[in-house]
Structure 1
């Protein structure tokens, strides 16, 4: 075989150009009898927030199109209106709204949970287990916890579920903003029971995400990995915020900084956050709410203390997030803020205030420059 032909074949089979075989989107073989189960799999979805609603929608659409006789997904949310909105959008053949969490627990074979914080997650699973103690499942039931939680909570959930017959738990947080979820391009992390991961992974890719990362059997690994990933994102946000603030002080236009970011850091996520800061666009309803960012930063700091692994950038970022939220809250209370939910890219308000600048309107900072001797 000629060198040229060998190179062409290598490029075709390994487009990454990094050597070795390309990593498959799903690192598990397909279940032994895909799509031909003796009974239709009933899926439940709990939590229809900014991410959950999009994930549930994409999963429902994909199964309706690709899984013969797939029953509509049973959804539950604290606010029933969000479930009804999905029914209106997709139709009753794709979505049903559960009357209660008890209905989800008893009727569903695979239950996905995408919730706001650890307290809500634990409360939901306590309700699941109380229900199933009185109505033990007769066949396999998989719980898929996809929220961003502190790792030890995974063990607590497993303790709740493990005494119940036929119940298995996997942790499966995701990386991506609502726009990424909308496009079904989430990066999915999994840890826990191998067979459960295999079944769920092929259900989620490509319907909800583009790739699954397997972290093994320890349920705490996926939540830990999620916090490590979020520390990288939050650290980048802090550096961006500091850079934009220095540019304000030095009289350099935000557009110039944003162009530089696009030239030297051509990563979609980083460019997206840079764009928000450069244009003072901090609407958290289309991004990641700052409350979630503060919760994640608190989890990361707790994890660094447990492992004696300092992250000083995250300590500073945590303070700037709190500062930004405090300023935003006071503006909302005074009727001076149009954005109801602040995105965590609003962290730049913390760095701006520390530098004596206007927090959310960079136009008021134009022309501010350091006095030279």
Structure 2
């Protein structure tokens, strides 16, 4: 991994307050074939919006070529949008060979690396060149260099473009996109993603590692905020303050939509990971942040604690699942409140079962 700048040097974000910091490419890429691999909770709505938006259809003139490990997701997208907008690939190698610009959104670093190895193998066999690969997952920064080595050796370019936003935000086409890589490639990618898939691009420059680093910084802010909320709500429970009052205080003091939203989840025990950010992804990201903080000698105690509480929540949920007592198939990472609740002698996931403390006047 690269040497990080000192605290006195500040990377410049080329956003300038604009939704898209890049001017339009001078020559439209008529006949451009787009591809998308990974139709999970985030990838599915991203691919759906990409295939539906007028600019993408005008630029490509052909259906979006999609691949997912489970073909059922590809079939569902085809059913939703029709063959004029979606075509299903039989393999990621087919996507790499046929497409000019390939987007990926996957669950973890190992899956990303394995897929790019397959891309590189396909390029080697076909001799195809001048592709743009766009990686939108949340991965550890050093992986960007490994992916770039695989792709650039076949005369293709990599853009790291992780996104901020939960699945409902992706569905609405309002993701915040962070980009790093070759300038011309970023320009072409940005005008496919904005508007329609994302609401704004933040440009981190040419160093590919900067984009995934920035994404981890952002996720550490969100995770740390959830941990603070979890502790505050639990303290309220133990001191006889109704949780709805705590949430009212959140709305008054910290009215950021994302903080209010996670407060609502904790208040209502709404820990369904299929409608939010699944706990496995949260644990993966917390692990990445802790590794990054260790490598840079940057203590982040709130993330250490949040990581422990995420593990506690997942372990309790797994035990309940074995007994057939789970409420949700997958937990949202806001369920880390289970860790603070259990430590305080409360039920992990059902606040209705908490003994209500009524302090004396």
Q: TM-score of the superposition, structure 2-length normalised? A: 0.93
* Preserved contact between residue 42 and residue 167 of structure 2 (Cα < 8 Å): yes
In structure 2, what is the equivalent of residue 67 of structure 1?
58
Number of residue pairs matched?
347
Residue of 184, 209, 225 corresponding to 2:214 = 225
In structure 1, what is the equivalent of residue 4 of structure 2?
none
Alignment partners' CA distance in 2, 1:29 and 1:187:
18
Give the 3 Å change call, closer, same or farther, for CA 344–68 of structure 1 in structure 2: closer
**Superposed CA offset, 1:193-251 (max 9, x none):** 10000000011001101100000000000000000000000000000000010011011
| CA shift for structure 1 position 161 | 1.3
Question: 1:164 aligned to 2:154?
Answer: yes
- Quote the RMSD (CA, aligned, Å): 1.6
Alignment partners' CA distance in 2, 1:40 and 1:270:
43
SS of structure 2 residue aligned to 1:67? helix
* Preserved contact between residue 159 and residue 180 of structure 2 (Cα < 8 Å): yes
Question: 1:144 aligned to 2:141?
Answer: no
**Superposed CA offset, 1:40-69 (max 9, x none):** 111110000001000000111004786166
Question: 1:106 aligned to 2:97?
Answer: yes
| CA shift for structure 1 position 86 | 0.6
Alignment partners' CA distance in 2, 1:69 and 1:310:
47
Alignment partners' CA distance in 1, 2:305 and 2:94:
44
**Superposed CA offset, 1:111-169 (max 9, x none):** 0000000000000000110111010115x21000011000000001111112112x100
In structure 2, what is the equivalent of residue 33 of structure 1?
27
Which runs of no fewer than 5 residues in structure 2 stay unpaired? 1-14
SS of structure 1 residue aligned to 2:298? coil
**Superposed CA offset, 1:178-198 (max 9, x none):** 111111110000001100000
| CA shift for structure 1 position 84 | 0.5
The 5-angstrom pairing of residues 160-309 of structure 1 reads 160-165=150-155, 167-309=156-298
| CA shift for structure 1 position 268 | 1.1
In structure 2, what is the equivalent of residue 8 of structure 1?
none
SS of structure 1 residue aligned to 2:159? strand
| CA shift for structure 1 position 300 | 0.1
Alignment partners' CA distance in 2, 1:369 and 1:250:
8
* Preserved contact between residue 150 and residue 299 of structure 1 (Cα < 8 Å): yes
Which runs of no fewer than 5 residues in structure 1 stay unpaired? 1-20
| CA shift for structure 1 position 102 | 1.3
Alignment partners' CA distance in 1, 2:177 and 2:358:
45
**Superposed CA offset, 1:5-47 (max 9, x none):** xxxxxxxxxxxxxxxx96111111110123xx3x411111000
* Preserved contact between residue 185 and residue 210 of structure 1 (Cα < 8 Å): yes
In structure 2, what is the equivalent of residue 154 of structure 1?
144
**Superposed CA offset, 1:242-271 (max 9, x none):** 001001101111111111111221111111
In structure 1, what is the equivalent of residue 11 of structure 2?
none
Alignment partners' CA distance in 2, 1:228 and 1:82:
31
* Preserved contact between residue 63 and residue 70 of structure 1 (Cα < 8 Å): no
Alignment partners' CA distance in 2, 1:348 and 1:82:
32
Residue of 347, 352, 367 corresponding to 2:341 = 352
Question: 1:334 aligned to 2:323?
Answer: yes
* Preserved contact between residue 64 and residue 94 of structure 1 (Cα < 8 Å): no
In structure 2, what is the equivalent of residue 7 of structure 1?
none
Moved over 2 A (4+): 63-66, 368-372
In structure 1, what is the equivalent of residue 47 of structure 2?
56
* Preserved contact between residue 102 and residue 131 of structure 1 (Cα < 8 Å): yes
Rg larger for: 1
| CA shift for structure 1 position 368 | 3.3
Q: TM-score of the superposition, structure 1-length normalised? A: 0.90
| CA shift for structure 1 position 370 | 7.5
* Preserved contact between residue 64 and residue 70 of structure 1 (Cα < 8 Å): no
In structure 1, what is the equivalent of residue 115 of structure 2?
124
* Preserved contact between residue 251 and residue 366 of structure 1 (Cα < 8 Å): no
Question: 1:23 aligned to 2:17?
Answer: yes
Residue of 16, 23, 35 corresponding to 1:44 = 35
